[in-house]
Amino acid sequence: MSSIQDKISSGEAVVTVVGMGYVGLPLALNFAKAGLQTFGLDIDPGKVETLNRGESYIEHIDATRIAAVREGGNFEATTDFSCVEKSDAIVICVPTPLTKHHEPDLSYVVSTVESIVPHLKAGQLVSLESTTYPGTTDEELLPRIEAKGLKVGEDVYLVFSPEREDPGNPDFTNTTIPKVIGGTTPTCLEVGCALYEKVCDQVVPLSSTRAAEFTKLLENIYRSVNIGLVNEMKIVAEAMNVDIWEVIRAAATKPFGFTPFYPGPGLGGHCIPIDPFYLTWKAKEYNIHTRFIELAGEINESMPQYVVHRVSEKLNEQSKALRGSRVLIMGLAYKSNVDDVRESASFKLMDLLADQGVEVDYFDPHVSAVPPTREHARWTGQKSIEWEQDRVSSYDCVLIATAHDKYNLDETVAWCETIVDTRNVFGDREMKPGQLTKA
Give the closest residue to 123 by CA, choosing from 84, 78, 155, 92: 155
Range 294-302 contact pairs with CB under 8 angstroms and sequence separation of 24 or more = 295/228, 296/221, 296/224, 296/225, 296/227, 296/228, 296/229, 297/224, 297/228, 299/228, 299/231, 299/232, 300/224, 300/227, 300/228, 300/231, 300/266, 300/267, 300/273, 301/266, 301/267, 301/273
Would you say how long the chain is, in residues? 439
Annotated catalytic residue: which of 83, 200, 271, 397?
Answer: 271
Contact between residue 164 and residue 204 where contact means Cβ atoms under 8 Å apart: no
Widest Cα–Cα separation across the chain: 76
H-run or E-run covering 420 = strand 419-421
Q: Using the Cα atoms of residue 354, residue 356, residue 357 and residue 363 in order, give the sign of their dihedral.
A: negative
- Verify whether residue 271 is a known catalytic residue: yes
Residues known to be catalytic: 271
